[in-house]
Amino acid sequence: MTVRPPSLWLDGLDTPISTARPLARDINTDVAIVGAGYTGLWTAYYLKRARPDMRVAIVEKEFAGFGASGRNGGWASALLPTSLATLAKEHGRHSALAFDSAMRASVDELIAAAGDIAADAHIAKGGTVVVARTAVQWGRAQAQARDAIEWGLGDRVSLLDQTAARTRLNAAGTLGATYTPDCAAIQPARLVRALAAAVTDMGVDLYEGTPAKTIGPHRVVTPGGEVTAAHVIRATEGYTAGMPGFKRDVAPVYSLMIATAPLSDAQWRDIGLAQRETFSDYRHLIVYGQRTADGRMVFGGRGAPYHFGSATKPAFDTHEKVFAKLKASLVEMFPMLAEARITHRWGGALGIARDWHASVGLDAGTGIGWAGGYVGDGVTTTNLAGRTLRDLILGEDTALTRLPWVGHRSPRWEVEPLRWLGANAGLAGMSVADAEERLTRRPSLAARALAPLVGGH
């Protein structure tokens, strides 16, 4: 069955997407993976590279890349949802810096792996520029640069003055910016579909159109059959709450995006992003964007509501008011795009743990492993997760298995309606915080008060 692409990225594939071969019998395998997004596919890829004889099967409710892997902002970044300060407090400075280093190295590992599987993913490692467009935002940019120096990472985060910032990204009102080279712009759907093709060529059994009804020790139950395995890996990210027994483990929060028609060379000369840098700014309610290989502006952000009971539905992928706000924010940053035609609008669920701490692990007793809670920064993190799960499954003690996210257990989210009230209060509060700063020209008191709800430290 051919499916309708839910994003610009999936719409830009060379061949139509079709689902095929659902699981229709009981099978036994060495490793069963639930979810054919980046996490599940990278895990399968690195396992088969290390142990070609290992039997690996993946069950996927829709098709490979249906979720965030085929809909995200196209940032292969070194960002983590948990601050270095928090990691250091819990695990020590050395472990925190090791995690940071592993993430930066993972950007290059992902690029190399994409080359190995011949993925035409339109990758450009242009780094990330985050602009400051008010005096308060400029203060935050300066603080981030000072913080990087204190951590010994001054060579990875540069503070740009107004001229240098505008050279990279000529956003209206820019006063300065920070820049890091540790990010690549990619076409994420091209990468995930190429990865799915690569693992099937390596002998992985991929069953699409096969939802997992339950996950338990050494078994996955689907409508078409039961999978028994030594190890079962949950790689469901934003859809985790839909699995029995995992309702409060990860909250799905929607992020929405828009894309313009290809812009002219003159428009790009005005805007910048000559190296296809990814970009954001220092407001509280997150926005993000990139310049695509075919010259489109892709722009996204948070702001869509969390849905009661951690519900995820196709209808939630669109929200007219949020799309309108995204277009208004885009034009406010780049007035020259006021007449730009929007060709694609889409959204999807990302996964957030209660403490905003991504994690990966494997329970030796049950054989159940997991990775997730990426808070929208999963393109690179999934690659690190896949290699880490490989080592854990093979029983190897490596630098990856000693990173501070391994075995981390986040608190569960509150029961409803507290979860709904808290999540939406946090999202709404960030808009209030930005408005407060525009009025007072001082750091927001609302943002400080709401920090525990939205990952602040």
Task: Respond yes or no on whether the N-terminal peptide bond of residue 417 is cis (omega within 30° of 0).
Answer: yes
**Per-residue pLDDT, 430:** 81
Instruction: Return the closest-CA partner of residue 389 out of 377, 375, 376, 403.
Output: 403
Does residue 141 sit within a domain? yes
299 pLDDT higher than 70? yes
Question: Cβ distance 182 to 156 under 8 Å?
Answer: yes
- pLDDT score at 442: 86
Spell out the long-range contacts of 268-273 with Cβ–Cβ below 8 A and sequence spacing 24 or more.
Answer: 268/295, 270/170, 270/336, 271/169, 271/170, 271/297, 271/334, 271/336, 272/166, 272/167, 272/168, 272/169, 272/170, 273/126, 273/168, 273/169
Q: What mean pLDDT do residues 108-134 have? A: 97
The better pLDDT of the pair 452, 384 is held by 384
Q: pLDDT class for 3, splitting at 50, 70, 90?
A: low
What is the model's pLDDT at position 4? 60
Task: Determine, yes or no, domain membership for 315.
Answer: yes
Predicted confidence (pLDDT) per residue in 48-63, tens digit: 999 999 999 999 999 9
Q: Are 75 and 276 in contact (CB under 8 A)?
A: no
Residues in the chain: 457
Predicted confidence (pLDDT) per residue in 56-107, tens digit: 999 999 999 999 999 999 999 999 989 999 999 999 999 999 999 999 999 9
CATH code at position 133:
3.30.9.10
Please say whether the beta carbons of 235 and 243 come within 8 A.
no
Res. 145: pLDDT tops 50: yes
- Strand residues in 379-452 grouped as ranges (E): none
Mean pLDDT computed over every residue of the chain: 94
- The two tokens of residue 123 are 């990758």
14 located within any domain: no
Tens digit of each residue's pLDDT (9 = 90 or more) over 388-447: 999 999 999 999 999 999 999 999 999 999 999 988 888 788 888 888 888 888 888 777
Residue 28 is assigned to a structural domain of this protein: no
pLDDT of residue 444: 81
Alpha helices in 19-92 (DSSP H): 38-50, 84-91
Q: How high is the pLDDT of residue 457?
A: 40
- pLDDT value at residue 282: 97
The answer to whether 50 and 390 have CB atoms below 8 angstroms apart is yes
DSSP string, 310-337: G---GGGG--HHHHHHHHHHHHHH-GGG
Q: How many separate domains does the chain show?
A: 1
Residue 238, Cβ neighbours under 10 Å: how many? Answer: 28
pLDDT of residue 434: 81
Beta bridge partners of 352: 251
The pLDDT score that the predictor gives to residue 315 is: 92
Distance CA 352, CA 239 (A): 11
pLDDT of residue 456: 47
Q: What is the reported pLDDT for 5?
A: 67
Question: Given this model, what pLDDT does residue 30 score?
Answer: 98
Asked whether the beta carbons of 13 and 29 are under 8 A apart, the reply is: no
**0.85 exceeded by pTM:** yes
When computed from its CA atoms, the radius of gyration of the chain, rounded to whole angstroms, is 21
Rounded mean pLDDT, 223-244? 96
120 vs 117: CA distance, rounded Å: 9
Asked if residue 2 has pLDDT above 80, the reply is no
Does residue 116 form part of some domain?
Answer: no
pLDDT at 433: 84
Compute the CA torsion angle 206, 211, 214, 218 (nearest 10 deg). 0
Indicate if the pLDDT at residue 454 is higher than 70. Answer: no
| Strand ranges (E), 66-127 | 75-77
Which residue segment(s) compose the domain that 171 sits in? Answer: 125-184+251-354+416-453
How does pLDDT run across 25-49, given as a tens digit for each residue?
Answer: 999 999 999 999 999 999 999 999 9
CA distance linking residue 68 with residue 381, whole number of Å:
13
Strands in 10-60 per DSSP E: 27-34, 56-59
Residue 345 domain-assigned?
Answer: yes
Question: Mean pLDDT across the stretch 216-236?
Answer: 98
Cα–Cα separations (whole angstroms), residue 274 to 41, 282, 334: 32, 21, 16
Structural domain includes residue 169: yes
Residue 317, pLDDT score: 94
Say yes or no to pLDDT of 343 above 50.
Answer: yes
Q: Distance between alpha carbon 158 and the CA centroid of its chain, in Å?
A: 24
| Residue 453 pLDDT greater than 70, yes or no | no
Whether 360 maps to a domain, the answer reads no
Rounded to an integer, what distance in angstroms lies between the CA atom of residue 416 and that of residue 420?
Answer: 6
Instruction: State how far the Cα of 252 lies from the Cα of 254, in Å rounded to an integer.
Output: 7
